[in-house]
Every structure is written in C-alpha cells, then in structure tokens.
C-alpha cells in the first residue's frame, strides 16, 4: 500500500496532475531572482482571472488556506471594530474565533449546520448595525457541503463603507465566484481544493475599498508575517524582501493555475456541476441521503455531504475503504462527526470514472 497512490475523495488535499509534480520538484531558485519575479507576476495574472477580478492585489499567502483567513482579518479588523460573522459551520465559527482574538466587537448571525442564509435576512441584520465595519462569510462551507449565495449581500454592501470578506477556500475554480461583480472586497482560498495543488498556499485578493480601510488603521496589525503592506511591497513592483517565498510551492501553484485556465472556468464549473449531479444519481441509487436538504439549500458540486446509514461504524468503514481499496473519504466535523461522510470531487478528482469506482466500493459496505 505504501507506494501505491491513494485516491483522495475527502475534503482536500486532492490528487495532483503530473505537471504539478514536475513543477514541485524543480530546482529551487532565489526568491529575489528576476526569473522568479516572472513567476510571481504570472500567478497574479492568473489569480485575477480565476477570482474574476481586476484588483491590483492578488497573490498567494505563504501558508495554508487558514493563513488566508488570518491575512484577511488581521489586516482588516482593528480592535473595537464592529464585525458581523455569518455562522453555519466550522469555518464561520473559526472566523468568529479569530475576530475575538483581534479584539473586535463581534456580532453573529447563525443558522444550523447544513443550512445557508437567506440573503435578505443578512441584509436586514447588516442594516441594524450602524457601526458595522466588516461582514465575513463562507461561500462554500466545507464542513457541511452547503453553498451560500452572496451576490445580493455584496451588492448591498457596495454602497456602504462596510468591507465584505469572503472565504472561498473550497469554491474557487469549482463553482461560479465573481469577486468584482458580486461586490466582494477581500476573498481568500486554498490550493488543495479545486485548484489541485498541494496544501501550503492561500490565494487571496484585496480591492481598493479594502486597502483604504487597511491604510487608515490607527493601530498596526498585530502580525508581522501577515502584514499586507510589507507583503505587497514584495509581490508588487518594488520587490522589497519580506520573507523567503516558498518557491517550489509557488512553481506548483503557477502550474495548477495554468491547467485550470487551459480548461477554462466555464468548462471547469460545468465539469464540477455535472459530476456533482452524477454523484447524487449514484448516491440515490444506493439508497443514501444527502445531508443538505436540496429542496431548500444548494449542495456544493465539489463537496457532497451524505448521511451515514444506520448500522455502519463510521471510522472503521473509512479506515477499511482507505486501507483495502485505496480511497480516502472525509468524516464529519464537530456536531456532524459520526453522522455524515464528506466526499470531495475537486479539481483533478472531479471525474465520473472516480465516482463510479467509489460507488462500486461503497456498495460493498451498504446493504
């Protein structure tokens, strides 16, 4: 087993293209080499396309997806700022936790895990908070498999001074995400989901409205590592050294973005949508049930949450599937632990062939 590839159908990382492996194993070059600055520029150009934005600032944080959350919030949120966090799963709660550490005044709006927010309810809540500075939500809740519509909220916030922060870790390049059109001011993601690059970087973009709030801070960011001004002095034209960029991971991201844009966003979204629907077809055929009530809420095309049928030992079954059939699937987090499975159909791994192979094996466990 040790040398045979495992098929990763959990919530990330995914398997990766051979071209990404070649990029990963390139001989390193200096983070201050003009050749490497060319790589950074290519990444910025590709990220603008993937995020569907004209923002000047688009780069990859030198850390995993959660470091993108911290890059976004630690720059945007000052002590005593009023911040509204939408909570419908693990990753909303994580943003609340960070906002409290940053000494913000935090309001939350919650719905149960597995549900999404009615955008009009969110707008009503926003308009009830006159001192509000930042609204943060998760586009694709990886813990529950729910997609949150955000266009109306973003368009409402466009006409205010409130900054709109969106966690797109799982959605980027797998489902429509229009940063500029939807009025998103800061958006971050991860590499190990639909981009199918190993974990270790967090693509992120900031618009001018967000930069203005950051430039007007009265107190410094409590983080040096995530100080946006210093990092953009390196990614931008000045090329001032801040920290030694993770060069091999950035080679890999550049390759992953090229593969993504060669396919094209429209085709990539369709592939994820088609395979998400095919997954549901096979799921129902096997008599399994979606955790997300799809009559009321939108299920993520790239992450399917499924109720574990009675009589199955969750952790034993997943261990057996991994060890004897080489397939990794995800378990639940927090309140859904032992209650749901999470199936990732992301990027490189969003394919009918892998779904067929998965269900052929799942049938062995389910009567």
7: which residues sit within 8 A by CB, 6+ positions away? 15, 326, 327, 328, 349, 354, 357, 358
- The residue count for the chain: 367
139, 145 contact by CB (below 8 A): no
Considering the complex, what minimum distance in angstroms separates the CB of residue 62 from a second copy?
A: 5
Taking CB under 8 A as the binding criterion, the range among 195-203, 293-301, 302-310, 359-367 that sits at the site for a second copy is 195-203
Among 127, 128, 131, 222, binds a second copy (CB under 8 A): 222
State how far the Cα of 232 lies from the Cα of 148, in Å rounded to an integer. Answer: 30
**With binding defined as CB under 8 A, does residue 154 bind a second copy?**
no
27 burial level (CB within 10 Å; 0-12, 13-18, 19+): exposed
**Which residues, including other chains, have CB under 8 Å from residue 207's CB and lie 6 or more apart?**
53, 55, 57, 179, 180, 184, 185, 186
Among residues 52, 108, 155, 223, the one that binds a second copy under rule CB under 8 A: 223
Tell me the window of 207-215, 246-254, 292-300, 357-365 that interacts with a second copy (CB under 8 A). 246-254
* Of 114 and 198, CB closest to a second copy: 198
**How many chain residues touch a second copy (CB under 8 A)?**
64
Under the binding rule (CB under 8 A), the answer on residue 220 touching a second copy is yes
Other Cβ atoms less than 10 A from the Cβ of 295: the count is 5
- Fill in the per-residue mask, 114 to 153: x = in contact with a second copy (CB under 8 A), - = not in contact: ----------------------------------------
Residue whose CB is less far from a second copy, 86 or 126: 86
The reply on whether position 63 binds a second copy by CB under 8 A is: yes
Does position 160 bind a second copy by CB under 8 A?
Answer: no
279 and 304 Cβ atoms separated by less than 8 Å? yes
- Choose, by CB under 8 A, the member of 89, 114, 183, 200 that binds a second copy: 200
Pick the binder of a second copy from 110, 125, 225, 339 (CB under 8 A): 225
Q: At what angle do helices 65-76 and 208-215 cross, to 10 degrees?
A: 60
Residues from 26 through 45 that contact a second copy (CB under 8 A): 27-35
For helices 314-325 and 352-362, give the axis angle rounded to 10 degrees: 120
Kindly tell me which of 127 and 222 has the beta carbon lying closer to a second copy.
Answer: 222
Stretches 22-30, 110-118, 253-261, 293-301: which one binds a second copy (CB under 8 A)?
22-30
The span from the CA of 265 to the CA of 268, in Å, is 5
- Integer Cα distance of 224 and 218 in angstroms: 16
Q: Which CB, 2 or 218, lies closer to a second copy? A: 2
Residue 143, SS3 per DSSP: coil
C-alpha 7, offset from chain centre: 20
Task: With H, G, I as helix, E, B as strand and everything else as coil, classify residue 57.
Answer: strand
Question: From the list 45, 244, 313, 324, which residue makes contact with a second copy (rule: CB under 8 A)?
Answer: 244
DSSP β-ladder status, 57-61 and 202-206: antiparallel
- How far apart CA 51 and CA 257 sit, in angstroms, is 11
* 19 touches a second copy (CB under 8 A): no
CB 139 within 8 A of CB 194: no
Give the residue, chosen from 124, 243, 267, 270, that forms a contact with a second copy under the rule CB under 8 A: 243
Residues forming contacts to a second copy in the complex (CB under 8 A) are 2, 5-6, 8, 10, 12-16, 21-22, 24-25, 27-35, 62-67, 69-70, 74, 94, 97-98, 100-103, 190, 192, 198-200, 220-225, 241-249, 252, 319, 322, 328, 333
């Amino acid at each position: 087993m040790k040398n045979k590839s495992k098929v990763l159908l959990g919530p990330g990382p995914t398997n990766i293209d051979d071209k990404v492996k070649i990029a990963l194993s390139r001989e390193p070059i200096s983070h201050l080499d003009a050749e490497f600055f060319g790589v950074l520029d290519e990444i910025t150009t590709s990220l603008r396309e993937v995020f569907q934005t004209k923002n000047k600032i688009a780069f990859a944080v030198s850390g995993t997806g959660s470091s993108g959350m911290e890059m976004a919030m630690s720059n945007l949120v000052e002590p005593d700022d009023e911040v509204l966090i939408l909570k419908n799963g693990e990753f909303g709660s994580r943003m609340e936790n960070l906002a409290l550490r940053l000494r913000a005044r935090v309001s939350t709006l919650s719905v149960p895990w597995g549900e999404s927010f009615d955008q009009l309810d969110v707008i009503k809540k926003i308009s009830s908070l006159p001192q509000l500075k930042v609204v943060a939500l998760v586009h694709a809740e990886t813990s529950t498999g729910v997609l949150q519509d955000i266009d109306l909220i973003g368009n409402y916030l466009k006409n205010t001074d409130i900054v709109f922060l969106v966690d797109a870790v799982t959605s980027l390049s797998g489902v429509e995400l229009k940063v500029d059109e939807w009025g998103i001011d800061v958006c971050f993601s991860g590499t190990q989901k639909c981009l199918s690059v190993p974990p270790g970087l967090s693509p992120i973009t900031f618009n001018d409205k967000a930069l203005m709030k950051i430039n007007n801070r009265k107190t410094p960011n409590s983080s040096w590592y995530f100080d946006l001004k210093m990092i953009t002095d390196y990614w931008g034209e000045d090329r001032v050294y801040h920290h030694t960029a993770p060069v091999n991971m950035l080679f890999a991201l550049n390759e992953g973005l090229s593969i993504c844009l060669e396919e094209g966003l429209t085709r990539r979204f369709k592939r994820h949508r088609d395979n998400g629907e095919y997954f549901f077809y096979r799921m129902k055929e096997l008599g399994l049930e979606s955790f997300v009530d799809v009559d009321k809420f939108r299920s993520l095309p790239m992450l399917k949450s499924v109720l574990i049928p009675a009589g199955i030992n969750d952790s034993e079954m997943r261990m057996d599937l991994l060890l004897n059939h080489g397939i990794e699937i995800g378990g639940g987090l927090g309140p859904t632990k032992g209650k749901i499975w999470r199936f990732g159909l992301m990027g490189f791994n969003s394919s009918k062939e892998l779904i067929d192979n998965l269900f052929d094996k799942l049938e062995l466990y389910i009567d």
